[in-house]
Structure 1
Amino acid sequence: MDNSIKAFRIISVLEAISFLVLLLIAMPLKYIWDMPEMVQIVGMAHGILFVLYVIGAYWMYEKLNWSFKTLIIVVICSVLPLGPFYADNKYLPKNKAA
């Protein structure tokens, strides 16, 4: 598998996990137990990963000759909690070395 696709896949998974940790762990800690520290840490990591995901999506758009519609769908997936997993499964080439 191409290294750029592998890199985007890793960023995609990390972005999705960071979003889930932010929503399911950090936000309840902040708003239920008044512990905002986790949101600051996870929020910063998620923000960086989100930007890398969007840049990577554009990179894949050019590399894989996606249509503009596919690019928009993949970018929209970045704001859905499990969206990057869907985008990975639907739009990235499968690993042929199994």
Structure 2
Amino acid sequence: MLKVFKIVAIIEGISALLLFFFAMPMKYIFDNPIFVKHIGMAHGVFFTVYIIFASVLKFTQKWNFLKYLEICLASIPPFGTFYIEKKYLRHA
């Protein structure tokens, strides 16, 4: 299950980067909002899956609350899930 979470974390991070650094500039600079619609939807799905996996793994891996909180909060800033993957999931 950690391997799947690692993959979800990487995909969630990539979708966030695509949203922030491609889709949003396309919307606000080039007035083309279609990318935000599709990439934003994909990012929302992966964000939700990431949080669900983190919640399940909190109990199956017996994570303490601070580790769980760090893992969940890392999904907010760009590059955060890559940090978590490197710190906690490298050997998964």
CA 1:69/1:33 → structure 2, altered by over 3 Å: closer, same or farther?
same
Q: Distance in 2 between matches of 1:43 and 1:55?
A: 18
Counterpart of 2:73 in structure 1 is: 76
How many residue pairs match? The answer is: 92
Counterpart of 1:18 in structure 2 is: 15
Counterpart mapping for 1:1-98 below 5 A: 4-92=1-89, 94-95=91-92
Q: After TM superposition, where is structure 1 displaced by more than 3 Å over at least 4 residues in a row?
A: none
Runs of at least 5 residues in structure 2 that lack an aligned partner in the other structure? none
Higher mean Cα deviation, 73-82 or 60-69? 60-69
Runs of at least 5 residues in structure 1 that lack an aligned partner in the other structure? none
Q: Distance in 2 between matches of 1:92 and 1:60?
A: 12
Counterpart of 1:51 in structure 2: which amino acid? T
Rg larger for = 1
Give aligned-pair identity as a percent. Answer: 39
Q: Distance in 2 between matches of 1:35 and 1:93?
A: 38
- When normalised by structure 2's length, the TM-score is 0.95
The offset of 1:92, in angstroms, is 2.5
Q: Distance in 2 between matches of 1:89 and 1:62?
A: 21
Is the partner of 1:34 in helix, strand or coil? coil
